Amino acid sequence: MRIHVVDHPLVAHKLTTLRDKRTDSPTFRRLADELVTLLAYEATRDVRTEQVDIESPVTATTGVKLSHPRPLVVPILRAGLGMLDGMVRLLPTAEVGFLGMIRNEETLKAETYATRMPDDLSGRQVYVLDPMLATGGTLVAAIRELIARGADDVTAICLLAAPEGVEVMERELAGTPVTVVTASVDERLNEDGYIVPGLGDAGDRMYGTAG
C-alpha cells in the first residue's frame, strides 16, 4: 500500500477552515468539495489514457483521452457522498457506483447495507471516497469488496487519516494494489475513535444531524 499526503498551501488552507468548529455546514460542504478536487488532481496522476488523433483549428495533432473501461468513482455513504461532486468535476466521464457501509455495534466490524456497482471491475481503476480514515475498518471492508469484484487498481481519497487507520490498512491489505491520498495524517485516534485534532464527524458537519 502507498500513502500520499498532498503537501500544498491551498490544501493546508482549506483543511484549516474545515477543522475550525465555527465553520458552518454550507461552508464546510463547499470547502470539502474544493479540497476533494485538489486531492483528486494528485490521485489521478496515474489515470490510464490512450492516444487519440484530433484536428485543432490550426493543424492535425495527437493528444490523449481517458482509456476504456472508464474509471469508477465509489463514495462510501453517507459522508463520502459529500465528496462526489468535487471528484467528478475533475473526472466528468467517470462512472459512479455507491457503497453503503455501517459498523455493527456488536462485532464492531463494517457491514455492507447497500451496493450499486458493476459485478465485474476487471481492468477498472477505482477511486473510493471516504472523508475519514480513522480505525480503517470501513475502508478495508470496502476495498476488499472492490477487489473481490476484480478491481486491480484502487485509490482511496480521504480528507484526513489517523496513523492507526493507516497501520490497519497496511496490515490487512498487504500486497494489494492500493493507494491512499489524503490532506493530512493526524496525530492519533482518541478513546471514542475520532481523529485528533481532526475535524469532528464529517457527515454531521456536512449535513447536520437528523434524529
Residues 6+ apart with CB under 8 A from 155: 43, 125, 126, 127, 128, 178, 179, 180, 181
pLDDT band at 54 (very low <50, low <70, confident <90, very high): very high
Each residue of 8-42: pLDDT tens digit?
Answer: 999 999 999 999 999 999 999 999 999 999 999 99
Q: Write down the pLDDT at residue 210.
A: 47
Which CATH fold would you assign to the domain 1-47+64-205? Rossmann fold (3.40.50)
Nearest Cα to Cα of residue 199 among 182, 186, 181: 186
**Annotated binding site for uracil: which residue ranges?**
195, 200-202
Q: Report the binding-site residues.
A: 78, 103, 130-138, 195, 200-202
pTM above 0.85, yes or no: yes
Domain range annotation of the chain: 1-47+64-205
Could you tell me which residues are annotated as the binding site for 5-phospho-alpha-D-ribose 1-diphosphate? 78, 103, 130-138, 201
The string of pLDDT tens digits covering residues 99-147 is 987 776 666 577 778 889 999 999 899 999 999 999 998 999 999 999 9
153 pLDDT tier (thresholds 50, 70, 90): very high
